[in-house]
A and B are shown apart, each in its own frame.
Chain A
Amino acid sequence: MATRTPKLMTVEDAAELIRDGDTIGIGGFITTNKPCALIRRLTRLRCKHLTVVAAPSGPELDLMLANDMIDRLITPYCGAEAVSPILPFFQKWAGRRFQVDEVDNGTLIAMLKAQIQRVPFLPVNVVGTSIPDLNPRVKVIDDPFGGPPIAVVKPIEIDVAIIHATRADRWGNVQHFGPLFIDHLFAQAAKKVIVTVERLVPNATIRGNALLTSLPSAFVDVIVEAPYGAHPGGSHNFYRLDTERLRMFVDGAKAYFAGNPEPWNSYMELFVDGPATHGEYCEMVGMSNMFKLSLERLDEES
């Protein structure tokens, strides 16, 4: 009997699948379930000329912008909520060092669905906003059914989608213990899909609760076991946002724009260029610091 092929790779090897000039899709939502380990690796490699299509984004995107990796950005949001409502590199360099194709969540979703469904465009309710003026993929056309002019959005081809989820088996069946956000749309739209997970589990565990399977193996090319792979953001059911290290990022970036590049350079060295692997990154942060982010601790602090 022929054997089924496992889809396992390391963070370091998976990052090599992304090439300069690729269009990549990034799942998650703001500071939750972002594939940060993989993005740190891409940043260490200084991937260039990327087009990034992303769900609402946080510091992982700002890190890429800081390192001039992105030529064109399509995302509805780049901030970190109360800690930094608008992230510094996005705020200072948008339109100057990289192009922003303006979207809101609805426009981004329609863009992905148009790609999934292989239709030339899908209508969106953004007529009257600036989005058609600020995004070459959005146009206002006559309604063939006689209604007022309607905005439509063109599909986008995505070379590689990168997603972080809770657990998976070696064959590529993925389970999210929390919201999918638009991860399933990225998985369906992209030519290649890489999913980092907190835990690798046996196939029997997946089958034990198939209702939880959010991305079946048919939509997944690579599984990367990366515990704490969404750090310094949070990960469903495992850990929450590391506000302390998020602040180090934001403070370093703000100092950079205030004319003092030193804190930013040390941030880059400590968090990105120093650790050679994701394992070394976790050791650098320190497991006792990681464990402080455990969700169970919320009760103790109540």
Chain B
Amino acid sequence: MALANVPESLLEAPPYPMELMAYFIAQQMRNGDYVALGTNLPVSTAGVLLAHLTRCPDIKISALSYFMHLARVERFHDLGQVASPRLSRWAESIWSLDALLDAVPRMDWSFTGALQIDKFGNTNLIGVGDDPTNLKFRGPGSVGSSTVAAICRNYMIHVGSHAPRVLVERCDFRSAVGFGEGGDHRQRLGLPGGGPKFVITPKAIMDFEPESKHMRLKHLLPGVTLDEVVNNTGFELMIPEIIEEIDLPSRKELGILRARIDVQGVLRR
């Protein structure tokens, strides 16, 4: 189902960074995947919905307590609130939080934000500073991330800015373990899930080198230089010999993204 006429004016602007981040996420989804959407994470929500509305009608979405099939939703009014009363009317099942946690081992993808991310994909939502009784900046709290990141099959980390204060040598606190101290540390800790797969910022997409689990550049967003990424990363980022070009959304995909998914234009900023 597509909107009959996407106004030409809506497609004039080239894709914005957050739209490209969402598009990258959309491309990672496979039909049938079980995906958890988070609150106040519009980039990943848009990405999963774009996949769902185009290639992946069988994606299984859980947004907090609601299991929903959303492919027939004409317009999404608030990407920040997937568990809103408007969308929860599409729920086919409603689970308690502890039951949902028991379902995480079957989950293909989840998403988390972070105040800090280090070179091994560990993330921090707790705070910045060294003294927990006198933090420089107190974060919102770990929410579900510690346990979900430990168990989920794969997850992605996405942040709103690519800066040395975000991409740090070492997190001040860890709310979720990525690859710990690198190498096989995650396995040695006994964490059952696969760990972080991608780190997505408005400048670049990163993955992890398979042996060392050190964060590695994968794509630069259009118009971003390698120097800009290197200089804005607070640790030594691994740079591959060839940096692959990032795929851009087609006009049709961009139309769906702008006219149906991101009605408010939160990604067009």
Give me the interface of A with B, judged by CB distance under 8 Å: 29-30, 32, 55-56, 75-79, 81-82, 85-86, 90-92, 94-96, 99-100, 102-107, 109, 113, 124-131, 134, 143, 147-150, 178-182, 184-185, 234, 240, 295, 298, 302
Contact = CB atoms under 8 A, between A and B. Distances in A.
B159 to A, nearest CB: 13
Interface in B128-155: 131-135, 137-148, 150-151
Contacts of A130: 126, 173-175
Contacts of B85: 234, 240, 295, 298
Interface string B46-76: 0000000000000000001110000000010
B126 A102 contact: yes
Contact of A109 (B75, B101, B141): B101
Contact of B142 (A104, A128, A180): A104
Nearest to A240: B85
A103 B101 CA distance: 15
Contacts of A92: 138
Given A81-B80, A126-B146, 20 more contacts: A29-B65, A55-B97, A75-B141, A79-B140, A82-B40, A103-B142, A104-B147, A106-B146, A109-B101, A113-B98, A128-B177, A128-B180, A128-B185, A134-B132, A143-B190, A147-B190, A148-B189, A180-B96, A182-B97, A298-B85
B265 interface: no
A298 B127 CA distance: 37
A85 B140 CA distance: 7
Nearest to A73: B141
A228 B177 CA distance: 41
A143 B189 CA distance: 12
B94 interface: yes
B95 A179 contact: yes
B106 interface: no
B135 A104 contact: no
B131 to A, nearest CB: 8
Given A95-B132, A96-B133, A78 B140 contact: yes
User: Secondary structure of the B side of the interface?
Assistant: loop
B84 interface: yes
B143 A128 contact: no
B91 to A, nearest CB: 9
Contacts of B96: 179-182, 184
What 6 A-B pairs are tightest by C-beta distance, nearest first?
A: A106-B147, A179-B65, A104-B146, A125-B150, A148-B190, A128-B177
9 contacts: A29-B97, A90-B138, A94-B127, A105-B97, A105-B143, A125-B191, A129-B174, A131-B175, A298-B85
A243 B61 CA distance: 26
B81 interface: yes
Interface residues of B, number: 53
B142 A76 contact: yes
Counting chain A CB atoms within 10 Å of each CB, which of B132, B134, B191 scores highest?
B132
A222 B249 CA distance: 56
Interface string B86-101: 1010000011111001
Contacts of A77: 140-143
Interface in B153-210: 173-177, 180, 185, 188-192
Contacts of B94: 178-179
A86 B113 CA distance: 13
A104 B134 contact: no
A129 B86 contact: no
B65 A81 contact: no
B30 interface: no
Nearest to B81: A81
Nearest to A109: B98
Contacts of A81: 39-40, 80-81
A95 B97 contact: no
A230 to B, nearest CB: 13
B97 A181 contact: yes
Contacts of B127: 94
Contacts of B131: 95
A76 B148 CA distance: 13
Contact of B147 (A91, A125, A179, A181): A125
B126 A134 contact: yes
A96 B134 contact: yes
A95 B141 CA distance: 13
Contact of A126 (B75, B135, B143, B150): B150
Contacts of A182: 96-98
A39 B88 CA distance: 27
Contact of B176 (A78, A91, A129, A185): A129
B109 to A, nearest CB: 18
Given A94-B135, A95-B132, A95-B138, A124 B147 contact: yes
Contacts of A106: 101, 144, 146-148
Contact of B65 (A82, A96, A100, A181): A181
B61 to A, nearest CB: 15
Interface string B232-261: 000000000000000000000000000000
